[in-house]
Amino acid sequence: MRFSPLLEQLIETLRCLPGVGPKTAQRMALQLLTRGRDNGRRLAKSLLDAMEQIGHCASCRIFSETEFCEICVSQHRDSSLLCIVENPVDVTVLEQTGGFRGKYFVLLGHLSPLDGIGPEEIGISKLKIHFERGDIKEIILATNPTVEGEATAHYISEFAKQFSIKVTRIAHGVPIGSELEYIDSNTLAHALAGRETL
């Protein structure tokens, strides 16, 4: 069955959301039109406001409605410690642990030459400005444990060494509460390679 052009457009637009296929998008659109028009209007306003007013922090590149985010302006954070992540959501996850009191830099991706993503696209020139100030003593590389994430971490590690900055990498390995027989071989190999002295 074909819907009206505006309804087809709404369904197709909803499909841009992660995990939303054609059937789910159709159900969402019909629900909003049948019983949720006020919610739909609020959703539309919130989306429009967010798209127009949320940008990136000028220092760390996390999502922010102000020039500098609250983490960057905080006097209670350690400015000598910089954690480098791929995406803004990674900052949220690390903040939820409550274990990190330094500052962040968000790459907004990872190196991927085949996709045309090089050092400039991930903000290396902005990162260089942080390094040149001389107040950063250690960077923690918290890129994803993928081929691209590892390549990005290696590139930044070599780049940071030019500024005599200590470089560390988050540990990869066996999750707490798991059993070895259920761990995949790549994870186990990383855990063995990154073993620590007790």
pLDDT tens track for 69-118? 999 999 999 999 999 999 999 999 999 988 899 999 999 999 998 889 99
What DSSP element (H or E) covers 105? strand 102-106
Closest CA to 151 of 105, 119, 116: 119
Question: In terms of residues, how long is the chain?
Answer: 198
* Closest by CA position to 165, among listed 141, 134, 196: 134
Q: pLDDT at position 194, please?
A: 74
pLDDT of residue 1: 66
Give the burial string for 41-55 (b: 16+ CB within 10 Å, else e): eeeeeeeeeeeeeee
As beta bridge partners, residue 83 has: 104, 140
Helix axes 37-53, 22-35, angle to 10 degrees: 120
Res 182 pLDDT > 90: no
pLDDT tens for 109-148 read 999 988 899 999 999 999 999 999 989 999 999 999 888 9
Q: What are the structure tokens assigned to 57, written together?
A: 């922090």
Domain segments of the chain as ranges: 5-53, 73-169
Reported as a pLDDT band with limits 50, 70 and 90, residue 11 is: very high
CATH code, residues 5-53: 1.10.8.420
Cα separation, 184 vs 151, in Å, equals 21
> Is 3.40.50.1700 the CATH number for 73-169?
no
User: Residue 177: what pLDDT?
Assistant: 80
Cα–Cα distance for residue pair 76/132, rounded to 1 Å = 22
Residues 89-112: b if buried by 16+ CB within 10 A, e if exposed: ebbeebeeeeebebbbbbbbebbe
